[in-house]
A and B are shown apart, each in its own frame.
Chain A
Amino acid sequence: MKRALIGGIGNVLLGDDGIGPYVVRLLDSMYAFDERVDENADENVEIADLGTPALDLTHQIVGLHALILVDSVASDGVGDDPAGTILLFRKEDILRETSTQRLDPHSPALSECLMTAAMLGDSPEHVLLVGIVGKCYEPGDPLTAAVRESVGDAIDAILQELHRLGFAFRKKTTCDEPGIWWSDRKVQLFPEQRNVMESRD
């Protein structure tokens, strides 16, 4: 079985930190992954709002062929990228992060989880982190406009990666309700343009 996981990471209650779950829920409402490129291929694409899993990410990623994560990121520390900029990271970029003393089990642990999976001999072959530069992480705040507008590009990045790796997908004729339950705003979908817009209800 060739498995891919598309995971949204972040805390939906903390402003732009919720962009990961937001993107994967929209993707799930707009696209189906039930077709096969190769009829004989045994492949599976799973989409999950993972929240902020820390070390618990390990068991989600062990044995995957492809891992695609969407998360808010700080700017890359070189230029000051504005909010909404999409930064892509591969496995080697993530593993370059120095993880040091862990005081609590809740700090983010992406590189640690990848290293643990590697030690178990079953690390995902392909890893892509779709990072969206965030701006505001205040409790209860909505996504900032710039971050919200990056959703279409983030979804494109995910679909390109799936295409590159030979996973099939198709646009649904009717979008499902995306289930952004934490937002007081109504999410409007325009599937023919794949732009995702929001407006005050």
Chain B
Amino acid sequence: MAKRITIDPITRIEGHLRIDVEVDNYAVSNAWASCTMWRGIEKILRGRDPRDAWLFTQRFCGVCTTVHAMASVRSVEDALKLEIPLNAQYIRNLILIAHALHDHIVHFYQLSALDWVDVLQIPKADPAATSKLAESLSPWTRNSRNELKAAQDRVNAVASSGQLGIFANGYWGHPAMRLSPDVNLLAFSHYVQALEYQRKALQVVGILGGKTPHIQNLTVGGVANAIDLDSPSALGMSQLEMIRTLLEEVVQFVQQVYFVDVCAVAAMYPEWFKIGSGVRNYLAVPDLPLDSQGSSYDLPGGYIRDGNLVDVKKFQTASDPIFRQSVTEDVMHAYYQGDKPLHPWAGETEPAFTGWNGEEKYSWVKAPRFNGEPMQVGPLAQVLIGYAQGHPLTRKYTDLAIEKVAAIGGVRPTPAMLHSTLGRHAARAIRACMLAELAQKHLQLLVDNVAKGDYTVHNQPVMPSHEVEGVGTHEAPRGTLSHWIVIKDEKIKNYQAVVPSTWNASPRDRSGAHGPYEASLLHTPLARPEEPLEVLRTVHSFDPCMACACHAFDPSGRKIGVAKIL
């Protein structure tokens, strides 16, 4: 008989994601993804001034604040058909890139690396041998014996204290952990360094955005950065040079460390190219606009159905008519009222909580559908769509990744193998390399444009008196984000945010089709069902984020996440 395993991070009010799987003969036979928290923040926006919406939406979520701010101003600009000055586009693009680089680095090292890296093997490593190995993989200058020894000492200090502290929760010694002590040490040393480099990426967001978290420089119609090359208080040469220096360091870390580590993990766990595929419909919107009208972009968008890369469709713009028309949300298995799928502009968010029932309603996440089908979003979707369209930058780093994995492990992955748990990690690293290169490009575009004497950063919005609709999209670190707004009498009449994790953590819809998390877990082998490390590997590969960000310290010592067998 199938055993049910619940992985539930719930505490009193901050719990977000819960995963239930049924395990039959050491493999997952059924799966449910639920968001355990009510998320009705959009309702607060009704009746407010559309120009203020971004201040509220960037509080939807505590970590991806900037992405919700950006999608919000873009939704109003789309509704008003407002053009954005070039400087503002470049400044926004730099903020989006820097935020994404920060997010991807944190995701791989702080959230998921320890699913693959066994910290308790590190004391057995030989720092000199590890350093030699590292030099064969990458030109990174911080792989010296001393640097690695220092990382090993940190682990030894924690291990010898008798309390594992930050490492208390890993599945150490699990049979699915397979790296050598030296590789474990190398990855851990980069885990420590990642804390430093993700911070540098955030500093770029802070310089341009005024502060972080919660950037201050956005405005409907552009940005509020004063550009003055000679003033220390405005955006001038000294700040641009500071950004250049920070980006150079982050770019090196991404290309010489993060990318290489992901390729090394992939090379050493090649079976994970065959696990965790699930929904093979992919969706991405174009992003990083290169002109005021938003007619050309540095990142391509489109969609793929059923893994068929040959038939990839392209979106021309970030609010492509096909995208605008094709999105609906279904609440058959979500805790909301409603009896038919609704387009976001007509969307409703009326709660109808019933408690968890896998056959009926079981999640606070709605089920978004594109032409009625579930879609996987995120770096994997972006990379596959770009690769299938022959996008040169996507091809460059995807091919580099394939070569690197083959060189380290001897197994040569194909683009088709990217439909997998490892594919999602690889795609995120590929995307990070692309963004790193684009960060430097957009900084140069900004510098060049300002040097021409163009200091314009804002176009004044004019609110129409009749009702208008808009969609603001952003290809965020976790995938396609869209904010949908209806404006009437200069006030917000309706507002819906369809966030990346809504697509990926979607529950079943009325046809019974699984959402991407759920589908990706089916058939996953579990070496020890009581320690479902393999489930975590796949769930973490999506970089889940429940985007509701209610948060209170719970002093009663309740566990923040437990795996229990029912």
Contacts and interface: CB of A to CB of B under 8 A. Distances in A.
Given A13-B44, A77-B557, A106-B61, A58 B550 contact: no
Nearest to A94: B553
Interface stretch (B6-14, B172-180, B228-236, B294-302): B6-14
A50 B561 contact: no
B559 A56 contact: no
Interface in A62-121: 71-74, 76-77, 87, 89, 93-94, 96-108, 110, 112, 115-116, 118-121
A176 to B, nearest CB: 16
A106 B111 contact: no
Interface residues of B, number: 63
A196 interface: no
B128 interface: no
A10 interface: yes
Nearest to A140: B44
B59 A51 contact: yes
A76 B556 contact: yes
Contact of B551 (A59, A108, A116): A108
B550 A116 contact: no
A52 B40 contact: no
Contacts of B61: 52, 106
A52 B551 contact: yes
Interface centre among A10, A131, A139 (most CB of B within 10 A): A139
Interface string B528-566: 000000001001100111110111111111111111000
B165 interface: yes
A54 interface: yes
B56 interface: yes
A174 to B, nearest CB: 24
A101 B562 contact: yes
A103 B106 contact: no
B210 interface: no
B62 interface: yes
Contact of A11 (B7, B549, B553): B549
B549 A139 contact: no
16 contacts: A11-B59, A52-B61, A59-B198, A93-B555, A97-B554, A99-B169, A99-B561, A100-B559, A102-B561, A103-B540, A105-B63, A107-B9, A107-B560, A115-B165, A118-B165, A119-B158
Interface of A: 9-14, 17, 49-56, 58-59, 71-74, 76-77, 87, 89, 93-94, 96-108, 110, 112, 115-116, 118-121, 129, 131, 134, 137, 139-140, 181-182
